[in-house]
Amino acid sequence: MPHFDPITRAGLVELLADRILELSGRVVIAIDGADAAEPVAIADRIATALRDTGRAAEVVSLHDYIRPASLRMEFGRTDEMSYRAAWFDYAALNREVIRALREDARWLPALWDEDRDRSARSPIRSAAPDTVLFIAGPMLFGRDLSFDLTVRLDMSEAALRRRTAPEAQWTIPAILRHDRDNPYAPTFFIRWEHPDRPALRIDDDARS
């Protein structure tokens, strides 16, 4: 049976950075978590730690692959199914980031500007042979996206309701339903009820 060990944020960053450094070549890492978990922030911290070792590391926020407002809000601004299926362009993320990195040594940092609701006009970037690319955001699993290592920042419904902004509370049922419908065993499962006091799941029968 698994159990959870407390770990500091700094300890978690160090643990994940060390594990990622064991991977060679260009790799793609998923940091899956609701916006309330701030997955981009933890991805940025790990990327910084990797750069300090000389490894190339970059972060892509899923919100930079959001769909135009006319598509994601076709059925209203708070439609649960739209948030799950039409809010983010996972297919473009796969094409312009994951596959492009592996096949062509390039990647597109952003596709759409959420605030201005127009093309981000980001230039395509070349990738070094050892680039680590983090993709951070909600509902990444169950999308036929291929990752080399996965991290789940898991929050209960109570924690989500406590940490999600009032105007985004409507997204919580969609996140919970997506997680139930897409069970997934990440490389690292982090209990993120209180982000200042995370806990790492340890599988007692795991072999090192």
Render pLDDT for 106-151 as a digit per residue (tens, 0 to 9): 999 999 999 999 999 999 999 999 999 999 999 999 999 999 999 9
> CA-to-CA distance for 48 and 60, rounded, in angstroms?
14
Residue 31: pLDDT over 60? yes
Residue 157 CB neighbour total at 10 angstroms:
11
CB 192 within 8 A of CB 198: yes
Number of H helices, E strands in the chain: 8, 11
Torsion sign, CA atoms 89, 92, 94, 98: negative
Strands 149-154 and 199-203, bridge-based pairing: unpaired
Among residues 198, 180, 152, 203, which one has the least CA distance to residue 8?
198
118 backbone dihedrals φ, ψ, rounded to 5°:
-155, 170
Q: Is the pTM of this model over 0.85?
A: yes
Q: How far is CA 89 from CA 66, 68, 202, in A?
A: 6, 9, 33
pLDDT, mean of residues 47-75: 96
Provide φ and ψ at 198, rounded to 5°.
Answer: -70, 165
47: its two tokens: 């990327």
User: What band does 208 get if pLDDT is binned at 50, 70 and 90?
Assistant: very low
Summarised one tens digit per residue, pLDDT across range 41-58 is 999 999 999 999 999 999
Mean pLDDT of all residues in 66-88: 93
What is the chain's alpha carbon radius of gyration, rounded to the nearest angstrom?
A: 17
20 vs 28: CA distance, rounded Å: 10
CB 148 within 8 A of CB 31: no
CATH topology of domain 2-203: Rossmann fold (3.40.50)
Give the containing element (helix H, strand E) for 102.
helix 100-104
Q: What is the pLDDT of residue 204?
A: 72
The percent of residues in the chain predicted with pLDDT above 70, rounded, is 98
Mean local confidence (pLDDT), 154-159:
97
